Amino acid sequence: RICVITLAEAHPLLQSGKTIKNINYQISANCSRLQNKVSGKSKRTCLFLFQMQGAQFLTELAPLCRISSSDGEEYTIYSCIRGRLIEVNENILSNPALLQEKPSTEGYIAVVLPKFEESKSITQGLLTQKEYEEVLLKRRSSAS
């Protein structure tokens, strides 16, 4: 039920050999994802958090961070799901290469906990690896 937000395999930062210059969790003048403070009871053995207080609520279109590459491109990474922001990965601030070297593990961007009643519809809407690869093929063929 917990969602770990990472860069997709097809993201330009992972495909084009770009170098990451900066990662910024400051979304606007009044909103920093680094100021997200979650408190409450937790049962760490199964990573299930409940009675959370202080977690920022995210919509599908909520920006999580902005990533700048050395060629001047900037990418805004969005939550893509509704839920509470459990944590952001501060390790990528000091070691941005983790996003490219280990995007599915240590290079994750954030952890989001969807509302319990929405978690089933979220997981049902996910693509399998094969479906994801088919979407990528269609994108590439339509771009050609």
Alpha-carbon span 134 to 128, nearest angstrom: 10
Alpha-carbon span 56 to 39, nearest angstrom: 12
pLDDT cut 90: percent of the chain above it = 42
Angle CA 40–123–74, to nearest 5: 80
Q: What is the pLDDT of residue 13?
A: 86
Give the CA distances from residue 66 to residues 27, 44, 112, 126, in Å, rounded to whole numbers and listed in that order: 8, 29, 17, 24
**pLDDT tens digit string along 33-87?**
988 877 665 544 344 444 456 788 999 899 999 999 989 999 999 998 899 999 9
Mean pLDDT over 118-140 rounds to 82
Q: Does residue 48 lie within any of the structural domains? A: no
Alpha-carbon span 87 to 142, nearest angstrom: 37
Q: What is the pLDDT of residue 48?
A: 45
Domain that holds residue 138: 3-27+54-142
Alpha-carbon span 58 to 136, nearest angstrom: 27
In the chain, the number of structural domains is: 1
pLDDT band at 93 (very low <50, low <70, confident <90, very high): very high
Q: Does residue 44 lie within any of the structural domains? A: no
Q: Is the pTM of this model over 0.85?
A: no
Alpha-carbon span 24 to 15, nearest angstrom: 21
Give the domain CATH number at 106: 2.40.50.100
Q: Does residue 47 lie within any of the structural domains? A: no
**pLDDT tens digit string along 2-40?**
889 999 888 888 887 788 999 999 999 888 898 887 766
Asked whether the predicted pLDDT for residue 132 surpasses 90, the reply is no
Q: Does residue 63 lie within any of the structural domains? A: yes
Q: How far is CA 94 from the centre of its chain?
A: 17
Q: Does residue 40 lie within any of the structural domains? A: no
Q: What is the pLDDT of residue 35?
A: 86
Q: Does residue 42 lie within any of the structural domains? A: no
